[in-house]
Amino acid sequence: MIIAIDGPAASGKGTLGKTLAAHYGLRHLDTGLLYRAVAKSVLDAGKRPDDEAAAVAAAQALDPSRFNEAVLKSHAVGEAASVVSAIPEVRAALLALQRAFAAKPPGAVLDGRDIGTVICPDADVKIYVTATPEVRARRRAAEYRVQGREIDEAAVLADILKRDERDMSRAAAPLKQASDAHLLDTTHLAIDPAIRAAIDIVEATRAGRGRD
């Protein structure tokens, strides 16, 4: 089974992806990490994230076995990832790796922005996770506070709105809900009910297709 989860920044798709994978015994790929690793490599080389040649070279040389998730999850790397991910050749360089991950038995959960639309258009289940920008900013700010960081929630909201705009308006594989994706709006859902709702979507989809 392949489960595709897409959604904007701080929508909770990563947590849902990880939890669904554990629940169904599937492998999990947070595809945002791929773009973050490309961005980090470009920044480390002293280049700008909109330097297409540097970003494409970094994408072609990517080695997921060497990812340091804690470093890749930083705010600065996320911003740069949003920029490198708008470059079509960067996306093309990461396509085969993602499809190969999904195709390996017993299947996988992939989360990102274009999983249901481009990477796995034939996924068994597609979920589009979202929440209002204000709620996503509040959750992201709470995460930062747990890490002991000083936080201006208005600045976090401004960042989220900027990232939404960039990820949704780019020409190459923009973030959008696939026509056959199930919408999961977590604006009024805590994490446990959101997980329950996601499992219900998977179960209903499988039942509808006559699978066990």
Interacting residues toward ligand DC by CB under 6 A? 9, 31-32, 35-36, 78, 81-82, 85, 112-114, 163, 167
**For ligand DC, the closer CB: 73 or 206:** 73
| Two tokens, residue 49 | 């994230």
CB 50 within 8 A of CB 60: no
CB 150 within 8 A of CB 94: no
Dihedral angle over CA of 163, 38, 24, 119, nearest 10: 80
**For ligand DC, the closer CB: 140 or 182:** 140
CA distance 78 to 212: 38
We find the least distance from the C-beta atom of residue 123 to ligand DC, in angstroms, to be 13
CA distance 201 to 120: 18
**For ligand DC, the closer CB: 102 or 195:** 102
CB 21 within 8 A of CB 108: yes
We find the least distance from the C-beta atom of residue 38 to ligand DC, in angstroms, to be 9
**For ligand DC, the closer CB: 157 or 206:** 157
We find the least distance from the C-beta atom of residue 144 to ligand DC, in angstroms, to be 14
We find the least distance from the C-beta atom of residue 163 to ligand DC, in angstroms, to be 5
